[in-house]
Chains A and B, each alone.
Chain A
Amino acid sequence: MTPKGKKEKKAPILVQMGIFAGVLWVASIISSVLPSNFIVPTPVIGLVLLYLLLTLKIVKVEWVEDFGIFMISLIGFLFVPSGIQIANDLRILREEGLQIVLVIIIATVTLLVVTAYVTRFVIAIHHRINQKHGQITRGGVDDGNIE
């Protein structure tokens, strides 16, 4: 967003927290009324809601930015308790810890490599379809690469 003339006013931090709390509250209600075979966790709904509010210009980015960026900067720390949670069930590590780590390594490589190659493939196909239809792609699917 380019600044338009006057500086956009940042909302006070408490107001920013209020917006976050409101979005989360609504998200938790939506999450709980969804049918039980269609599970969508609260943060997923909250994320989409906040994104829509911003994109539809109902909420200005200046109203949530400071608190949001601050929360994101904390995220590494916020993960600590979720990591320590395994202390509740060390038996699982004793019994299959090695296998779990092995699968995590495989999963990490798989996700990285498969995603990279599938994306390359999808973009190439999309590019070819666009060319067939003789569209001017307006840089639509160029990959920033000379291939």
Chain B
Amino acid sequence: MATLNNTLALPFTGIFISLAVFLLGQWLFKITKGFFLFQPLFFGMVTGIILLFIWGKIGGMSTAYVYRHYYKPGGDIIFWFLNPATIAFAIPLFKRNQVLKKYWFDILISLVISSVIALFIILGASKLVGLSYQSAAAMLPQAATTAIAMPITDAIGGNAAVTAMACILKAVILYALADAFIKLFRLQGSKIGLGLGLGTGGTVGSAKALQFGELEGAMASVCVVIIGIVVDLVVIPFAQIFM
């Protein structure tokens, strides 16, 4: 039993669980023709947590222990590959160089101003509902993609796991409700604006933007990259001054 226990603590377990829950989500997403709660990543996250929770209950261990002891070794290996995947976004950005050269000034200024405004609103909302410092700080970098947002959260003393959850939930919300938001707030007045706005929702937002048109899609995929850099430059000083 001791050897089985050691074996289960090898990276194989975490890697297999991650793939299993994600693939199950993909399959459910497909057969339900895109039901928003079966978005593979969100489904994988929830199912994975439930799985570790049940494992803990059966084995008489805390969920946190099961996570650290059995899931994390494999999870960390997959997580590392976010590094090359994130820098790979330089390729689509490079391919958009023409649009970027034409609009870089407007994109940069717009994203810096909107991040600062959004940060005040997010911090205000966090204070209003009474979030702890750790969670409130985790809310600030969520416009960036996960691999960039998490180290920034760490840097300002927040809980990076909460940031990761925020990035995932944001994608679910946008997938389900982007059309309604766009109609409600009349966002179609500016193609560049709509594209950049959807780009704050990461890859799911970009996919949505592409449905509206070529320029919107290009702007969103540019935004996914630029917003990561803007968040890095804006959030850290913002947290130092206002938190």
Contacts and interface: CB of A to CB of B under 8 A. Distances in A.
What secondary structure prevails in chain B residues at the interface with A?
helix
A79 B165 CA distance: 10
A80 B181 contact: no
Contact of B106 (A101, A112, A126): A126
Contacts of B7: none
Contact of B88 (A68, A81, A103, A115): A68
B200 A112 contact: yes
B121 to A, nearest CB: 5
A19 to B, nearest CB: 10
B50 to A, nearest CB: 9
A116 B135 contact: no
A54 interface: yes
B68 to A, nearest CB: 6
Interface string A90-134: 101001100111111111111111111111101100100000000
Interface in B114-162: 114, 117-118, 121-122, 125-126, 129-132, 134-136, 139, 142-143, 146-148, 150-152, 155, 159-162
Max chain A C-beta neighbours (<10 A), residue from B53, B110, B164, B225 = B110
Given A84-B45, A88-B68, A107-B125, A24 B196 contact: no
B87 interface: yes
Chain A: interface residue count, which band? 35 or more
B35 interface: no
A140 interface: yes
A10 to B, nearest CB: 13
Interface of A: 1, 20-21, 23-24, 27, 39-44, 46-51, 54-55, 61, 64-65, 67-69, 71-72, 74-90, 92, 95-96, 99-120, 122-123, 126, 139-141, 143-145, 147
Interface of B: 14, 18-19, 21-22, 40-42, 44-45, 48-49, 52-53, 63-64, 66-68, 71-72, 74-76, 78-79, 81-95, 97, 102-103, 105-107, 109-111, 113-114, 117-118, 121-122, 125-126, 129-132, 134-136, 139, 142-143, 146-148, 150-152, 155, 159-162, 164-170, 173-174, 178, 181, 185, 187, 189-194, 196-201, 203, 205, 215, 223, 225, 228-229, 232, 236
